[in-house]
Structure 1
Amino acid sequence: MRGPHNIWRLIRTGATMERTGAMRVVLEALDAPLPLRIAARILGWPFQWVGYKGDSAQPPVTRALTALGPAYIKFGQILSTRPDVVGEDLALQLQVLQDKLPPFSRDTAIKTIEHELGAKADTLFTDISEPVAAASIAQVHRARRLDTGQDVAIKVLRPGIERAFRRDIDAFYFAANVIERLSPASRRLRPTDVIEHFEGVVMGELDLRLESASAAEFAAKTQDDAGFRVPSVEWHLSSKRVMTLAWAEGIPANDLAAVSAAGHNRPQIAARILQMFLSHALRDGFFHADMHHGNLKIAPNGDVIALDFGIMGRIDAYTRRVYAEILYGFIKRDYRRVAEVHFEAGYVPADRDVDEFARALHAVGEPIFGMDASHISMARLLSYLFEVTERFGMETRTELILLQRTMVVVEGVARSLDPHINIWEVSRPVVESYVKQNIGPKAMARDLARTAQILARVGPRLPELAEQMLIKLSQEENPQPESNGSYWRNGGVFILGVLLASGVFALLELL
């Protein structure tokens, strides 16, 4: 049954893209080969009558995806984080895609709350409001806890949204397979992998327990950050399809007039938003990856409040160090060091010329430093940097692309609050602090200490492992040359491990 449905869904998608003018824009942005262009136009044109018109006031791609429904809206938002797939221009267009849909009824939301929490709504909450926000996956209601009187925000998934997304994701996979068959050249964009990434993100957002876990983790990591708040999760009032958070009172970050009227220091708030984002990315390796105006509020005391934790980014400790050294090198205008870091990290193939790469980086950095402070952009720097590294054979790193996309959004928020913000000056203290704490002798000592902890856990087993090796050796009456080599390799690794452990323990004794 899925085959005919997927074909029909693909026809309707193509017809809508053709009817809104989005088909041409997308094919040009992807630099699609001629066979794929012909197939796409043939598919869409005869069936335009089944396609949606959409809002003619919107750009073609935005209009088409909005008309096609929640899964397409979410897909467009996620594609905006992948300029390596859709190109810079189309990625920028997709960033303004509004994740808003008409709300479903309050009564339907209450039925979901009661079913998920296993109790009548009026035994848990009072004053459940009409929807205060409605997006493609869920909507939010304000209410008050019956037991404590505390105001809360209740996020409720749309009815049937899981089934609708599953149906559309199947159609996306079908389309990806068709594209790969019609155009082998398109395989370099890995359409199926892109759909797999989308499926992973969306399936996480469709289980509000996972978003609750992200919110709780983010709150724990940022609890000591002055001027930044994350609403607490009400775990006993949350489930797979319902999430309850403490209500966050504040002014939406995009209501600049209200922010100013409340007497808030807009340049100070702008700097805080940018510094907090960098701190979360570098210090914690866990950052809010959807930090646009709609997900930020300004509290009455001026604190920045983060909302909506469906899309979070993670960066491992090693990558954070590399990223910090790259940023620090640019801040110091030490392009040779930036080039060396790329080679040391293996981001650029070893057979490339480091001096030539440093010269290319110099050409990226210097024009930006020559700009007026209000035009300096770290997001632009990262964009240029990725262009250069791609020319030198650097492979795409999804986590850094997500970081770059979020950096673009955060910069936009900061500039709206303070058009004259100097991105470098605001960023410098955060990057310098991270470099000081995580690169150098202190960091090396901490790394050795962690290594010692791991070896200490294995330590009690070292005699047992040695005995097993000796028994195995005694049982081999006539070892073959190959097994002899294997034995000596294993024995060498074992001895090296013992020596390394002994050295680490001796160093710790000296310290």
Structure 2
Amino acid sequence: MNKLSRIFKIIHVFLYYRLYELIPSHKIPFLLKALIAVCFWYPKTSKKTDSAHNLRIALEHLGPVWIKLGQMLSTRKDLLSEQLSIELTKLQDQVTPFATSLVLDTICQELNITQISDVFFKFDEQPIATASMAQVHGAQIQLPDESQPISVIIKVIRPNIEHQIKSDISLMLLFAKFISKTKDAHRFRAVEVVREYEKTILNELNLKLEASNGIRLRDNFADSDDLYIPKIYPDLSTQKILVMERIYGIPVSDTAALLQQGSDLKNLAERGVRVFFTQVFRDSFFHADMHPGNIFIEQQKPNDPEYSNPKYIGIDFGIMGTLNEQDKRYLAENFVAFFNRNYLRVAQLHVQSGWVPSHINVEEFEIAIRAVCDPIFNKPLDEISFAQVLIGLFDTARQFEMEVQPQLVLLQKTLLYVEGLGRQLYPQLDLWQTAKPFLEQWVKEQMGFKAFFKSSKENLPYWLEKAPEIPEILHSGLTTLNNMPQMKQELIEQYLEHQKQHRRFLLQLTLVSCGFITSLLIVMFGNLDSLIWQLAVGVAGSITMLNAVLVWLKIR
């Protein structure tokens, strides 16, 4: 019933806010046209209201899962109209706020204090930002070892949000299970993808986990000239509130302000790509929610020696991605092969990694990939979109039974974010050439003598610990080899015994069936007044029952 009411709410929002007007008329499916025609009487917002504004309000109305979709779309200025992009950008930090009284109640309850001034020197009731999951307020704290109060922000989870998220996720699972029953659905692994998304978005509700993620990312970039992560105060952070150093920066989407302060936008765009690939391939731990509301650029002054080279500032660590070593290796080699247009290597890697079944013809797969990628790569740089390549590859891979990899979905989404941000800063950004030297160096480090030496050095303590066990392991291995003929004979005997038992089981099952049919025929056509027929029924029934019991004992 809960799912049904949610479906009706989505239909209501779709109709009320006239979202169908965003779809080109020639692309509206017949069933949707029929629904719109039948519901002509349904109350709707005014026709004078802008469609882009309607979409933003509708996404806000539907809740966090839908707002996240709008945030991702807002970075793709190359795919959306300017009006739509501007409106969706408001979803990054201008969602409708909730009452300050609820914020204060949550903070006091989480920190076990009676009033806000027990911990915070100052608290700003007007929120700095209001996002899909949480609301952010400015404050100041006085630490014992500091002479002046420190400016911080307090992030507070929206009340009663978990129920709404779980409701939408359950609806997505319902559709995913329906899709999984269709032809070739196993390749999409829809249920796994939704489960992975559920885990990711529910992790966002745990600010204690976000604090841990932020501390880890700050440690990874402690000495970086490219990225700054604000200090987090874990002692003041709980599952529902996060206290973090307040930063002052320029939103990465505000190119006018960046140009005004003299920032080199081309350099910024290229460094942003480098920061992302460093997180993925060096640390195996990357920020997976890189929409413009979470990324800022340091404010600089003309007399600052780092004036032309400001750092990125990252916030909001609720969604973080990880990759295992195997996926990371295959991914890096795939990227390098793409950059070098070595499509045969791309096809081979897809098979080797298990992303595409081994029976697929590699040469045919290479030709299909080339047909997709070559026309795209031959375009001018500002017309090449990773999104186009990705969509094209998915369409091609579908023909070759490629399965969706749930562990890579976050990475793909984040890479689209990164390209969108880079293109906002510098439309001629060549994502491929910017990333290629970094990835080639990384692959070289993983495969050369240095990689062997590094791996040996890391594993040396383990090898030394296990060294005394080597003679025993060798003795055990040789004993096993010596006993192989005997083990083989025992396995053959076990197999023959199983075969014998299986034949006995089939015989008993056959006797049960025959006995049942015989008893049924006697009852239907025999003269049950006769003693002989009664005796025949009794014998047939007894044999049937005995064998039925034996069969039941074996299969229970």
TM range (shorter): 0.7 to 0.9
Cα contact 2:272–2:422 (8 A) shared by 1: yes
The answer to whether 1:146 aligns with 2:154 is no
2:99 to 94, 102, 105: 105
The answer to whether 1:391 aligns with 2:399 is yes
Who is 1:156 aligned against?
A: 156
Who is 2:447 aligned against?
A: 439
For residues 454-485 of structure 1, what are the alpha-carbon distances to aligned partners after superposition, in whole Å with 9 as ceiling and x for unaligned? 55555566677789999999xxxx97944599
Who is 2:427 aligned against?
A: 419
1:118 to 100, 112, 119: 112
Who is 1:261 aligned against?
A: 260
1:447 Cα deviation from its structure 2 partner: 4.3
1:408 Cα deviation from its structure 2 partner: 1.9
1:132 Cα deviation from its structure 2 partner: 0.6
Who is 2:284 aligned against?
A: 285
Question: Structure 1 CA distance, aligned partners of 2:452 and 2:275?
Answer: 26
1:316 Cα deviation from its structure 2 partner: 1.4
1:124 counterpart letter in structure 2: V
RMSD between aligned residues: 4.3
Cα contact 1:325–1:435 (8 A) shared by 2: yes
1:14 to 11, 31, 40: 11
The answer to whether 1:326 aligns with 2:334 is yes
The answer to whether 1:73 aligns with 2:67 is yes
1:400 counterpart letter in structure 2: L
2:319 to 286, 311, 320: 311
1:240 Cα deviation from its structure 2 partner: 0.5
For residues 176-230 of structure 1, what are the alpha-carbon distances to aligned partners after superposition, in whole Å with 9 as ceiling and x for unaligned? 66x569x856966666545433321221111111111111121122223222111
The answer to whether 1:128 aligns with 2:123 is yes
Question: Structure 1 CA distance, aligned partners of 2:359 and 2:166?
Answer: 45
- Kindly tell me: are residues 417 and 180 of structure 1, through their superposed partners in 2, closer, same or farther at Cα, counting changes over 3 Å? closer
Cα contact 1:212–1:233 (8 A) shared by 2: yes
Cα contact 2:107–2:241 (8 A) shared by 1: yes
Cα contact 1:208–1:239 (8 A) shared by 2: yes
- Kindly tell me: are residues 30 and 80 of structure 1, through their superposed partners in 2, closer, same or farther at Cα, counting changes over 3 Å? farther
Question: Structure 1 CA distance, aligned partners of 2:273 and 2:368?
Answer: 27
The answer to whether 1:242 aligns with 2:250 is no
1:169 Cα deviation from its structure 2 partner: 4.2
The answer to whether 1:360 aligns with 2:368 is yes
1:345 counterpart letter in structure 2: S
- Kindly tell me: are residues 45 and 437 of structure 1, through their superposed partners in 2, closer, same or farther at Cα, counting changes over 3 Å? same
- Kindly tell me: are residues 384 and 8 of structure 1, through their superposed partners in 2, closer, same or farther at Cα, counting changes over 3 Å? closer
Question: Structure 2 CA distance, aligned partners of 1:168 and 1:198?
Answer: 11
Who is 1:489 aligned against?
A: none
Cα contact 2:74–2:88 (8 A) shared by 1: no
Cα contact 2:279–2:286 (8 A) shared by 1: yes
Question: Structure 2 CA distance, aligned partners of 1:348 and 1:417?
Answer: 36
Cα contact 1:16–1:52 (8 A) shared by 2: no
1:376 Cα deviation from its structure 2 partner: 3.8
Who is 1:495 aligned against?
A: none
Who is 2:515 aligned against?
A: none
Cα contact 1:207–1:241 (8 A) shared by 2: yes
Aligned ranges 1:461-480 → 2 under 5 Å: none
Cα contact 1:52–1:64 (8 A) shared by 2: no
- Kindly tell me: are residues 385 and 399 of structure 1, through their superposed partners in 2, closer, same or farther at Cα, counting changes over 3 Å? same
Q: Which deviates further from its counterpart, 6-15 or 113-122?
A: 6-15
SS in structure 1 at match of 2:154? strand
Cα contact 1:376–1:423 (8 A) shared by 2: no
1:359 Cα deviation from its structure 2 partner: 2.8
1:67 Cα deviation from its structure 2 partner: 2.5
Cα contact 2:193–2:406 (8 A) shared by 1: no
1:277 Cα deviation from its structure 2 partner: 0.8
2:103 counterpart letter in structure 1: A
TM-score (norm 2): 0.71
Question: Structure 2 CA distance, aligned partners of 1:76 and 1:186?
Answer: 29
Who is 1:374 aligned against?
A: 382
Who is 2:417 aligned against?
A: 409
The answer to whether 1:350 aligns with 2:346 is no
SS in structure 2 at match of 1:196? helix
2:121 counterpart letter in structure 1: T
1:434 Cα deviation from its structure 2 partner: 0.8
Cα contact 2:350–2:356 (8 A) shared by 1: yes
The answer to whether 1:165 aligns with 2:165 is yes
Question: Structure 2 CA distance, aligned partners of 1:176 and 1:360?
Answer: 28
1:139 Cα deviation from its structure 2 partner: 0.8
Cα contact 1:321–1:439 (8 A) shared by 2: no
Cα contact 1:383–1:404 (8 A) shared by 2: no
Cα contact 1:209–1:243 (8 A) shared by 2: yes
TM-score (norm 1): 0.76
1:66 Cα deviation from its structure 2 partner: 2.8
Question: Structure 2 CA distance, aligned partners of 1:362 and 1:243?
Answer: 48
Aligned residues: 465
Q: Which deviates further from its counterpart, 146-155 or 15-24?
A: 15-24
1:175 Cα deviation from its structure 2 partner: 6.4
Question: Structure 2 CA distance, aligned partners of 1:106 and 1:407?
Answer: 36
1:266 Cα deviation from its structure 2 partner: 1.7
Question: Structure 2 CA distance, aligned partners of 1:365 and 1:112?
Answer: 52
For residues 243-301 of structure 1, what are the alpha-carbon distances to aligned partners after superposition, in whole Å with 9 as ceiling and x for unaligned? 01111111111111111111222221111111111121122221111212211111124
For residues 378-404 of structure 1, what are the alpha-carbon distances to aligned partners after superposition, in whole Å with 9 as ceiling and x for unaligned? 444344333333322221113333322
